[in-house]
Amino acid sequence: MVTRFRVGTNRPTQRFNLHVSTISPIPKSYPIAFRDPNWYRAMLDEYTALIKNNTWILVPRPPDANIVRSMWLFRHKYNADGTLSRYKARLVANGSTQLAGIDVDETFSPVVKPATIRNSTQSSHF
């Protein structure tokens, strides 16, 4: 049997990747995010929410105060089926610029034990 392989006329199958990603990659810095309309909108939404919730008030800087800087964190949020839900930008305090005893005394992170929730819900049924 004469096949293309034996004759030497076989060609590798050409496969094309027709998938084009329209998702903006996670930016490495604020200036890069600012130029991307998707990330710019996410930052604007975060800033608007912070202002609307009166998260902080703007005050004059005292001359001897340490300024705690902020930074942007960027993330893609996905639906359960793996499609992009939205771009998420968070403005957070940069803890590396805080001074112990001046800017922060202790760190508190509320943690709830599952047993606490389970016990409180069980007792409410009686």
Can you give the pLDDT of all 126 residues of the chain as single tens digits? 667 666 666 666 666 655 556 889 999 999 999 999 999 999 999 999 998 998 888 788 888 877 778 889 999 999 999 889 999 999 988 776 666 666 565 555 566 666 666 655 555 554
Residue-level pLDDT at 66: 77
What sign for the dihedral angle of Cα 95, 71, 112, 102?
positive
C-alpha distance from residue 51 to each of 5, 24, 80, 94, 110 (Å): 69, 26, 31, 19, 24
Residue-level pLDDT at 7: 64
pTM of the model: 0.60
**Residue ranges of domains in the chain:** 24-57+66-107
The length of the chain is: 126
